[in-house]
Amino acid sequence: MTPSTLQRVARRAAGLALCAVACAGCGQLGVKPWERDLLARPAMQLDASPVANGIDDHIYFSKEAATGGRAFGGGGCGCN
């Protein structure tokens, strides 16, 4: 084999070894049963405070003349 072919084979072997090592750690990424109580707390939710979000929505549509800017597209006064 030529030196360039050996280098190519060595690079492929190193790449495959790197992929194997990276995939080996993926099995440990799950949420453990004792961690679920922390993730289920209201403060960890995307919508942690519905009252604060309602106030923010009210301020947004009052200032921007648009409704539903967070949940869906559209809105605005419609003038061009």
- Tens of pLDDT along 59-72? 877 776 655 555 55
Q: What is the pLDDT of residues 37-46, one digit of tens each?
A: 877 887 777 7
Please tell me the pTM assigned to this model.
Answer: 0.33
pLDDT at 1: 66
pLDDT recorded at residue 31: 77
Distance CA 31, CA 64 (A): 40
Quick one: DSSP state of residue 29?
A: -
pLDDT digits (tens, 9 = 90+) for 4-20: 888 888 899 999 888 88
Q: How confident is the model at residue 80 (pLDDT cuts 50, 70, 90)?
A: very low
Burial of 66 (0-12, 13-18, 19+ CB in 10 A): middle
